[in-house]
């Protein structure tokens, strides 16, 4: 799943959602297991146990979010075996992602998805947009490093790294290299261009980088000129895709506030672990939150 992007991970996760007799949404742990990159149930169960402990520590009732269940599996000759399973609330899935193996790319994407979703519920729309942009900027920095490594494997050396990266910009920005883009958008020379991109522009550049990296590996490019040409061509194809869907071409997107200011603003916004009534009820829906209120919890 190393090539999976956040939107695809989100759609896969949401497609597994079910509803129980209380009208509450839940996810089957057995179905969630492969999506989060676990091939062994035993290993995934360990992540679930850590998540249950984290749930209790956060002041929420694990019984409202993790319900033991049996899942029938049909084996050879039609024999049916019931295996352990859990019904998980959305909060439980979030905690499992947070307590999963961070080396798994699936877990990394899940953590990113849930981080954005959790903060969206806690902060204003503007702050939620800030979270999304900050996550995209972080991921784009990682992709830039990965692309540089792929370019080195493809034969790019020394000062030609600048030419290689500029080729991608030229393809995506209609012939404009990094410096020309900065000049067009009146961005200071000292600023990193990526730090002044909004979420839409960052996403386009991230896509350009990942697709170039994959293409260099897939076609086993081992020539410096060919690597540079490949990067520019991928940039052009991403640009053409933006044109086809009627999007704003990247050179026409105004510069965004510097990413450092976004990070500074978010640093003062403290996330809360207290859930609203519906989410606190978890698998019991509104009934669960009402029961807690009756018990004086």
Parse the chain into domains and list their residue ranges: 6-123+273-294, 125-267
Q: Is the pLDDT of residue 295 over 50?
A: no
Q: What is d(CA 260, CA 52) in angstroms, rounded to the nearest whole number?
A: 35
Q: Is the pLDDT of residue 123 over 50?
A: yes
Cα separation values, 93 from 65, 96, 122, 135, 281, Å: 9, 5, 18, 20, 15
Q: Is the pLDDT of residue 80 over 70?
A: no
| 281 vs 123, residue with greater confidence | 281
Note the pLDDT of residue 291.
Answer: 44
Could you tell me which residues come within 8 angstroms of residue 30 by beta carbon, excluding any fewer than 6 positions away?
41, 71, 83, 85
Mean of pLDDT over the chain: 84
Q: What is the pTM of this model?
A: 0.54
Q: What is the pLDDT of residues 166-175, one digit of tens each?
A: 999 999 999 9
User: What does residue 109 show for φ and ψ, rounded to 5 degrees?
Assistant: -65, -40
Q: What is d(CA 223, CA 229) in angstroms, rounded to the nearest whole number?
A: 10
Place 227 in a pLDDT band, splitting at 50, 70 and 90: very high
Mean pLDDT over 222-235 rounds to: 97
Ranges 8-12, 95-99, 275-279: which has the least confidence: 8-12
Helix (H, G, I), strand (E, B) or coil at 51: helix
Strands of 80-88's sheet in order across? 18-19, 25-28, 80-88, 66-74
Note the pLDDT of residue 21.
Answer: 86
Helix (H, G, I), strand (E, B) or coil at 27: strand
Note the pLDDT of residue 99.
Answer: 86
């Amino acid at each position: 799943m190393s090539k999976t992007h956040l939107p695809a991970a989100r759609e896969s996760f949401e497609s597994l959602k079910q509803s129980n007799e209380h009208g509450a949404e839940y996810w089957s742990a057995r179905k969630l297991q492969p999506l989060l990159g676990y091939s062994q149930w035993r290993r995934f169960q360990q992540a679930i146990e850590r998540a249950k402990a984290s749930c209790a520590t956060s002041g929420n009732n694990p019984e409202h979010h993790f319900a033991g269940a049996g899942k029938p599996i049909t084996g050879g000759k039609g024999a049916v075996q019931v295996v352990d399973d859990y019904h998980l609330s959305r909060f439980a899935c979030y905690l499992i992602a947070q307590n999963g193996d961070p080396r798994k790319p699936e877990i990394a994407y899940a953590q990113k998805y849930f981080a954005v979703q959790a903060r969206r519920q806690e902060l204003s729309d503007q702050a939620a947009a800030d979270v999304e942009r900050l996550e995209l900027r972080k991921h784009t920095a990682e992709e830039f490093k990965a692309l540089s490594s792929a370019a080195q494997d493809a034969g790019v050396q020394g000062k030609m790294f600048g030419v290689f990266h500029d080729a991608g910009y030229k393809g995506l920005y209609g012939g404009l290299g990094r410096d020309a883009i900065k000049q067009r958008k009146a961005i200071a020379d000292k600023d990193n261009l990526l730090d002044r991109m909004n979420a839409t522009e960052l996403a386009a550049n991230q896509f350009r980088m990942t697709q170039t990296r994959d293409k260099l590996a897939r076609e086993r490019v081992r020539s410096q000129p060919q690597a540079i040409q490949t990067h520019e061509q991928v940039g052009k194809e991403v640009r053409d895709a933006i044109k086809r869907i009627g999007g704003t071409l990247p050179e026409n997107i105004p510069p965004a506030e510097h990413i450092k200011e976004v990070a500074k603003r978010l640093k003062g916004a403290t996330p809360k672990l207290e859930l609203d009534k519906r989410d606190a009820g978890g698998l019991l829906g509104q009934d669960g939150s009402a029961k807690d209120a009756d018990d004086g919890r």
